[in-house]
Structure 1
């Protein structure tokens, strides 16, 4: 019966505010989340920020030491760093409170006459610190104080991120954009290739064979596949002309999902795209995306290749944004509030939804939140 193929997330979980509130607490806060890239944190006072639901996270370089904090001033609760990345002290723009690498407000204008804060006071007023670890290009943060280390959380995918980072060293694009869709819908869409022949008929469908091999570990999954001869020929020329040594693990195509919100695609053994699907509201998400090319000799040929990859990626993104918006609209109008039907080519969605249900615990479609 078709009911044996139903997923574990009902339609209204893609539209309800209280569900997103529970997800922030039970899915996102305990997980290791990628908040940015080491390329943006090379120098003293470099910083990056990330927004996960209501939570703003800042990662700051203090003389080579990366530290992560809640991005909220202890004084009057203003955001401290207001840009996505930059270089400036960890200083509140409202009244100038300045924080050190321990998160303590060591620079308080007019401290003596206004506050007379002691060192003990400064320690109590320190910013909330978050766990931080780096693997390859990627900076991960965990908001809860307790939990597994990053390598345990990622399992075999820790080594995969190191491998992909070692192969692809030439970052050529970093973009952020928003979709009118729930973050889970973005992950569902990325998890399957069933939609490719129709939605991506003039882009992805021209290069990817749908003979995909799926594998999974607890919470995370991947599929690997073959590129069509047209694409393989193009990549062979790129490797030759740019003197690229492609990945021996993934010479054609790989797609990785790291729970809860990371999607990685790897094409031609030389083209890495890394995306996070960050929730903004129940029906809105922000995708932060970065792309790298394998180590190459540079020059005009490199620029031409990068231009083609950017154009291709933008087309695929636009196609996905449109279909996810259409599907999100349908999620508001499911009469029996059932979960989606998941066929054989959508097994990774079922795997993702199982991991989601495990984290959400006692939450149910009746409206209860854990």
Structure 2
């Protein structure tokens, strides 16, 4: 491999409205899109909402079955669910129309006042339904007519998703970070460790991750992962070794920081398998995005939770570490957005440690050019 590669995505695709509209259709609406974890949909009437390529979607537990529908009432087109997540029947708050497990209206106030609203016509007013599938505890939705299954879409990347599903213990927090930066800039920032010495001096660098750290990469179709190892000078930290011994039975034990990208925007990171963040990098506008993530602590195998004392230590340190890191990334990503819009260059350059960015850009442009 040469020492640097030319970037593939032209700069204008990070800020032009036409590119934003194009990727909504060709990238987000054509991909299997991560929604959340099964634990968020475990109870009857639990729901999650999201936006997939400009299309509002509600995913709901209806009588024990997870369904996904267009989140727009077919009566007068009000958004049915406005909260990010919650529990409640699939009922529009405007006029009270309720929908059943097939998306058909079944509870309509003053139904007799609608002329000709019989059983057959109600079928024509059903909510458009989308495909739902699962990988371990991860829930995905596809809003396209594509015949590609989730299994085919994920390929070998499903192996790590299932491993991470097994490690998930107590939820520590849900947090959102708005960025005045295109979603692709935020994604690409997660794909390399080249920046950590300069950008993360009190988190990753302090933990022992440096430019001298070895990195293992895996490319699995559209998806990639990496494990960033500790620098040799930090591998014999006795304090860390003592704490890790208390968690020796944790199911997932990467030798450093593990990061996985499930294309296009599911970002997963775990430091030594003690905690894991599961984040969705959501496109809002050509130059705005939101990094929404859930942070979980590990369990100790067979679903055994950490002791309360250890859990408190993990909770405190992981919240501080994650929020500090992502705040530093936010500042950088927003500066990159400004610089990209001002630059006369058409593309950037990448070195061999940024190969995952090149792979991401290749997958993106393959879809855009279809």
Q: Please indicate, yes or no, whether the TM-score normalized by the shorter chain is above 0.5.
A: yes
The answer to whether structure 1 residue 329 and structure 2 residue 333 are counterparts is: no
Aligned partners of 2:134 and 2:140 also within 8 Å = yes
Aligned partners of 1:46 and 1:88 also within 8 Å = yes
Distance in 2, Cα, partners of 1:61 & 1:345 = 42
Match of 1:27 in 2: 27
Shift of 1:170: 2.2
Shift of 1:186: 0.7
Aligned partners of 1:245 and 1:294 also within 8 Å = no
Aligned partners of 1:239 and 1:246 also within 8 Å = no
Aligned pair partner of 1:255 in 251, 255, 259: 259
Distance in 1, Cα, partners of 2:281 & 2:292 = 7
The answer to whether structure 1 residue 157 and structure 2 residue 165 are counterparts is: no
Match of 1:216 in 2: 219
Distance in 2, Cα, partners of 1:247 & 1:14 = 39
- Match runs of 1:132-281 below 5 Å: 132-207=132-207, 208-209=209-210, 210-228=213-231, 229=234, 233-241=238-246, 243-247=247-251, 250-281=254-285
Shift of 1:36: 1.4
The answer to whether structure 1 residue 350 and structure 2 residue 358 are counterparts is: yes
Shift of 1:233: 4.5
Match of 1:366 in 2: none
Superimposed CA distance per residue, residues 133-174 of structure 1 (whole angstroms, 9 cap, x where no aligned partner): 122221100011223111111111112111111022222221
Q: Give secondary structure in 1 for the equivalent of 2:72.
A: coil
Q: Give secondary structure in 2 for the equivalent of 1:193.
A: coil
Match of 2:112 in 1: 112
Shift of 1:244: 4.8
Q: Give secondary structure in 1 for the equivalent of 2:283.
A: strand
Distance in 1, Cα, partners of 2:116 & 2:238 = 70
Shift of 1:359: 0.3
Aligned partners of 1:45 and 1:60 also within 8 Å = yes
Superimposed CA distance per residue, residues 283-333 of structure 1 (whole angstroms, 9 cap, x where no aligned partner): 001111012211133212311221111001000010000000000001111
Match of 2:286 in 1: 282
Structure 2: stretches of 5+ with no match in the other structure = 300-304
Match of 1:82 in 2: 82
Structure 1: stretches of 5+ with no match in the other structure = 363-370
Distance 1:249 1:332, change over 3 A: same
Shift of 1:270: 2.5
Aligned partners of 2:180 and 2:337 also within 8 Å = yes
The alignment's TM-score, normalised by the length of structure 2, stands at: 0.92
